[in-house]
Chains A and B, each alone.
Chain A
Amino acid sequence: MGSAVIRASRAETRHGGASAHPLVGWIVPVLLLAAWQLISGIGWLPERILPEPWAVVRAAYRLAASGELWEDTEISAARALGGLAIGGGLGFALGLLTGLSRVAETALDSTLQMVRNVPPLAMIPLVILWFGIDEGAKLFLVALGVFFPIYLNTFHGIRSVDRDLIEMARSYGLTRWQLYRDVIFPGALPSILVGLRFSLGLMWVMLIVAETISASSGIGYMTMNAREFLQTDVVMVGILLYALLGKLADLVARGLERYCLRWHPSYRAR
């Protein structure tokens, strides 16, 4: 009798989605990696298509030791963050303006919505004509890519701030500046941060494209250069580096969200 009861409750926990060990998530990637190494080792996978994982690790080490890796990563990161600062800053400022002022909304919003329909990558020919293959071209493309998510979400965030809270704040004698700082900006922040996360994804896409088209430094240059010499291992290092940086940016954004929105029940939960 007693054992039957115990067995029943065990089955229940299993079905109730008792949390699995966190390492379980790593089983599939590790198996894939092992299979890749094995296939390359046997020689079924030509080096020109895909080098063995170990070769990628060696290439990464070689590049790191020579300092080339850090230099290129630094340059790429500077371009990405510079573009983000310019495009994101502009998007935030304009979103603030159109969000707070009906006049600015009428004057600017329809224009911006029209421009938004142009895919940023379609601008490449023009960008090359304007900036050549300078740093300016890369900054412009990244800035263009990150501008709209931040602009739209800032605008939307400000417009969706609870009117009752604004009325309350006014009736409690808040000055205009206090009203922005204590009510409107924090109220719009969840939406702004969503825009930031979107932007961070686009930021790397735009940078990769810009660096692949033309560059004499940066991760994109490193990979394109390696392609010329059929160094697939270096190409793989570049690709993985982009992935790593993208993941890093996402982690930072998520950390920011968790800190800034810690008052929010749905962000506090995890």
Chain B
Amino acid sequence: MSRQLVQSHREKAALRLDGPPTATGCEELPALGLVPELGSRSTRPGLRPCSAGSGTHLSVDGLVKRYDGRSVLHGLSLQIEAGVFVAIVGRSGCGKSTLLRIIAGLDRPSSGTVTLTTPIGERRPRVRLMFQEARLLPWKSVLANVALGLPKSVPGEALAVLHEVGLADRAASWPAELSGGQRQRVALARALLHKPDLLLLDEPLGALDALTRIEMQALIEQLWKEHGFTALLVTHDVQEAIALADRVLFIEDGGIAFDQRVDLSRPRARGSADFARLENDALGRVLRSDPNRDALV
């Protein structure tokens, strides 16, 4: 399996940096500034995938976001049950990434709330975000990148997670030596090490070539099944959404335009008739929603 495929250039979004991105409009939101209490959890010997992240129920209520008077999201509401894989599709600029950033606590909503509840214990739900670009620290080894922000005792666990994404043998490499797909795997491992209850994926596969993307989709699906976190994937690829998600949401004009259940059994065969029908339906609705068809990816 060759992963040394072409690396694409990623665009970097210029982002706001003033103030820590922790607080949002809601009390229950997890504080991203907190390091998870790894010390209290039993350390796993060997390479067994952990099951500590147990999925969180996500409730978004009347979310409004305005940038300089321009409204990006207006009154978006959304319920996602624990452990479900949800994909959000939409055109560029429809507000899907904004929604994700607000849920992640990187942006504040103008109004509205985001509530996360975990079924077990009083513990605060952990949320981790996978960005469009891998955002690895180029001056740290792959292993150190995975263990970023965690206590020193973690390397064994970091290596285990790296093994899960199939890159244990690259632990000592520099990020610059990896291909684009490998870098995203490292980013995925980094997110998984925090044992998230909710994993947000902001078009993490958008810059990868088609083959690598399919491999990554399978990996994400497998890890989601093993770890049991709630997953929220933003993508512009309808096929990717149907291949991975239990539910596909289409966001348009700052609100949810449709909400499609996907009841296909996993792993999903892209060639199957049911798959193709669902994909066609969804694509049709996305295309119908805007006269400017060329703009669709």
Contacts and interface: CB of A to CB of B under 8 A. Distances in A.
Contact of B149 (A164, A169, A263): A169
Contact of A173 (B17, B135, B149, B176): B149
Given A172-B149, A173-B35, A186-B139, A167 B133 contact: no
Interface in A154-185: 162-175, 178, 182-183
A182 B140 contact: yes
B139 A263 contact: yes
Contacts of A186: 137, 139-140
A164 B132 CA distance: 11
A265 interface: yes
Nearest to B36: A173
A168 B138 CA distance: 13
Interface in B95-146: 104-106, 128-129, 131, 133, 135, 137-140
A265 B32 contact: no
A164 B21 contact: no
Nearest to A102: B18
Interface string A212-223: 000000000000
A163 B32 CA distance: 17
A182 B137 contact: yes
Nearest to B31: A173
B128 A172 contact: yes
A44 to B, nearest CB: 57
A65 B179 CA distance: 59
Contact of B190 (A162, A167, A172, A189): A172
B108 to A, nearest CB: 14
Given A164-B131, A165-B137, A263-B176, A173 B33 contact: yes
A46 to B, nearest CB: 57
A162 B176 CA distance: 15
Interface residues of A, number: 24
Given A178-B149, A186-B137, A173 B32 contact: yes
A264 interface: yes
B110 to A, nearest CB: 20
Contact of B106 (A167, A173, A178): A167
B17 A168 contact: no
Contacts of A168: 131, 135
B14 to A, nearest CB: 7
A164 B135 CA distance: 7
A128 B176 CA distance: 52
Nearest to B131: A168
Contacts of B128: 171-172
A170 B15 CA distance: 13
B131 A263 contact: no
Nearest to A167: B15
B20 interface: yes
A185 B169 CA distance: 28
Contacts of B148: 169, 172, 174, 182
A187 B138 CA distance: 9
22 contacts: A164-B133, A164-B135, A168-B135, A169-B149, A171-B21, A171-B104, A171-B128, A172-B32, A172-B128, A173-B32, A173-B36, A174-B148, A182-B140, A183-B137, A186-B139, A186-B140, A189-B139, A261-B139, A263-B138, A263-B174, A264-B138, A265-B176
Interface of B: 12-15, 17, 20-22, 32-36, 104-106, 128-129, 131, 133, 135, 137-140, 148-149, 174-176, 190, 194
Top 8 closest pairs, chain A to chain B, by CB: A168-B135, A186-B139, A172-B149, A263-B139, A173-B35, A263-B174, A174-B149, A265-B176
